């Protein structure tokens, strides 16, 4: 799952806060209790000294054998009782009428010999902290602290980071909007954050470098085409001139014609490759609103002769208007290539069925009774059958035109003995 940077940090900060606060709370609690018991125990020990002193002066005190207003009791040691003059400290619960419930007390147990040399138990108690209340209060306070911290971090993220990351978002948006050779409409990035300035600068430099390389490439392709086309033109034209010679025999003339038509194929291949590279370099920039219904009509007229030659029935079903903004030449090439494909691989007396809807256009044709390889059909130089006249680039050109426009997609399927290419918006 993808999360925004600020939420990403928030998630880890919340967890970290939770762990830190929990550990801190445990330590804090332990220290506090330690300190409280230390204090209470010191008080109890002090009281013991005071009580023993009093007992020596006033033996009547030995009669106090229940906790009353004095928070101590003295009981004679019975037979078999353990006796020790050591101090034993313990937590116990006693009923407290004020709260009407059992409350925690700290109790000091010890033993002593009274002036009459008899051993007595002495128990001194004092009310101490209610640990569960303490834990509850502490927890409440800490939960509030935790929430405030997380909320605080969240708000800081929202306000401060949103501000701080604004240039970054502009850079992202620019990257998304960037089209080759068009930088005018990109928002300027002005920030005093070093990293973002650096990023922006690097991206701009990368663009510049790419555009330079692209321009070089473009010049190279154009020049290469020029260099190729000229010798081709010379060869073809010389062959044509030669073919005018009336004294040529049939076999000579046929061979010349064959050489010429091979050269034409080379020319077409060259053109197709040039076209592919131009499409991929996004050199068809001029975009306008195109109605594909209209275009299909125009193109089907151009192909009329080929359709009737192969005795192909063309059915066009329109369920809506397929409008799209794209380059006119590319739209023309796109539809013509689909048409040409549907005719070339059709059978004599076959059918081409074109369906146009608001968001889709499909071209279905009869032909070979086996589905084509869906994976490879749009690859360059992929030839399904051994077809010497095809350059294997027609569908590759279709694919690269479709890829030029993010909203378009094309796929192939074989249904009810029809090869179907469907273009979707």
Partner 1 sequence: MKVLIVEDETDLCDVIKSFLEGEKYIVETASDYASGLAKLANYDYDCVLLDIMLPGGTGMQLLTEVRALGKDDSVIIVSAKDSVEDKVEGLELGADDYLAKPFHLAELLARIKTIIRRKNHHGEQAIQFKDVKLFPEERKVLIGTEEVQLNRKEYDLLYYFMIRPEKLVTKTSLAEAVWGDDADQSDNLDFIYSQIKNLRRKLKNHQAEIDFQAVYGVGYKLV
Binding site for partner 1 (CB under 8 A): 222, 225-226, 229-230, 232-234, 236-238, 240-241, 243-244, 250, 253-254, 256-257, 260-261, 264, 267-268, 271, 274, 302-303, 305-306, 309-310, 329, 336, 340, 343-344, 387-390
Residues 6 or more apart whose Cβ sits within 8 Å of residue 10: 150, 153, 154, 157
Taking the complex as a whole, how short is the minimal distance between the CB of residue 410 and partner 1, in angstroms? 21
Q: Can you give the C-alpha Rg of the chain in angstroms?
A: 47
Tell me the two tokens of residue 133: 């209340």
Q: How far is the CB of 227 from partner 1 (least distance, A)?
A: 8
Query: What's the closest the beta carbon of residue 195 comes to partner 1, in angstroms?
Result: 41
Q: Residue 127 or residue 283: which is nearer to partner 1 going by CB?
A: 283
- Greatest distance between any 2 Cα atoms in the chain: 159
Nearer to partner 1, 34 or 258 (CB): 258
Q: In Å, how far from its chain's centre is CA 234?
A: 56
Residue whose CB is less far from partner 1, 305 or 416 = 305
Q: How far is CA 416 from the centre of its chain?
A: 40
To partner 1, the closest distance from the beta carbon of 306 in angstroms equals 6
Distances 45 to 40, 62, 109 between C-alpha atoms, Å:
9, 18, 10
Minimum CB–partner distance for residue 395 and partner 1 (Å): 14
Give least dist CB 236 to partner 1, A. Answer: 5
Q: What is the distance of C-alpha 251 from the center of its chain?
A: 67
Residue placing its CB nearer to partner 1 in the complex, 361 or 397? 397
Cβ 178 vs Cβ 204: under 8 Å: no
Instruction: Kindly tell me which of 193 and 239 has the beta carbon lying closer to partner 1.
Output: 239
CB of 268 to partner 1, least distance (A): 6
Find, among 163, 91, 82, 85, the residue nearest to 126 by Cα: 91
Q: How far is the CB of 282 from partner 1 (least distance, A)?
A: 14
User: Quick one: 268 or 358, whose CB is closer to partner 1?
Assistant: 268
Other Cβ atoms within 10 Å of 294 Cβ, number: 12
Scan for tokens 């071209």, then name that residue: 363
If residue 150 lies in a helix (H) or strand (E), which one and from where to where? helix 131-156
Alpha carbon separation from 379 to 373, 384, 396, 421 (Å, rounded): 10, 11, 6, 15
Between 45 and 271, name the residue whose CB sits nearer to partner 1: 271
Strands (E) in 285-340, as ranges, are 287-291, 313-318, 323-327
* Choice between 308 and 373, CB closer to partner 1: 308
Element (H, E) at 401: helix 394-404
């Amino acid at each position: 799952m993808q999360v925004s940077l600020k939420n990403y940090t928030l998630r880890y900060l919340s967890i970290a806060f939770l762990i830190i606060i929990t550990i801190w709370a445990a330590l804090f609690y332990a220290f506090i209790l330690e300190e409280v018991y230390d204090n209470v125990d010191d008080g109890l020990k002090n009281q013991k000294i005071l009580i023993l002193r009093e007992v020596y002066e006033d033996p009547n005190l030995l009669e106090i054998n229940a906790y009353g207003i004095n928070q101590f009791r003295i009981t004679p040691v019975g037979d078999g009782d353990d006796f020790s003059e050591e101090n034993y400290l313990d937590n116990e619960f006693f009923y407290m009428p004020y709260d009407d419930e059992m409350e925690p007390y700290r109790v000091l147990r010890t033993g002593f010999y009274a002036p009459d040399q008899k051993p007595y138990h002495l128990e001194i108690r004092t009310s101490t902290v209610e640990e569960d209340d303490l834990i509850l209060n502490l927890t409440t306070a800490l939960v509030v602290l935790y929430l405030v911290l997380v909320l605080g971090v969240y708000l800081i993220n929202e306000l401060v980071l949103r501000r701080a990351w604004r240039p970054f978002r502009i850079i992202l948006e620019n990257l998304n909007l960037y089209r080759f050779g068009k930088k005018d409409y990109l928002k300027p990035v002005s920030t005093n954050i070093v990293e973002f300035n650096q990023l922006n600068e690097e991206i701009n430099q990368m663009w510049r470098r790419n555009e330079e390389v692209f321009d070089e490439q473009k010049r190279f392709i154009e020049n290469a085409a020029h260099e190729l086309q000229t010798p081709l033109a010379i060869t073809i034209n010389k062959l044509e001139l030669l073919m005018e010679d009336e004294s040529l025999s049939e076999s000579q003339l046929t061979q010349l014609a064959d050489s010429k038509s091979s050269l034409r194929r080379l020319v077409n291949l060259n053109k197709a490759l040039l076209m592919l590279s131009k499409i991929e370099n996004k050199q068809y920039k001029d975009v306008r609103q195109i109605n594909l219904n209209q275009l299909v009509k125009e193109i089907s007229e151009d192909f009329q002769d080929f359709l009737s030659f192969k005795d192909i029935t063309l059915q066009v079903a329109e369920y809506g208007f397929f409008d799209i903004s794209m380059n006119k030449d590319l739209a023309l090439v796109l539809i013509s290539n689909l048409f040409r494909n549907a005719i070339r691989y059709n059978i004599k007396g076959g059918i081409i069925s074109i369906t146009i809807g608001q968001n889709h256009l499909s071209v279905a044709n009869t032909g070979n009774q086996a589905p084509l390889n869906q994976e490879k059909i749009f690859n360059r130089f992929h030839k399904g059958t051994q077809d010497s006249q095809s350059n294997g680039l027609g569908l590759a050109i279709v694919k690269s035109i479709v890829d030029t426009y993010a909203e378009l997609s094309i796929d192939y399927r074989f249904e009810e003995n029809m090869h179907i290419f469907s273009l979707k918006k």
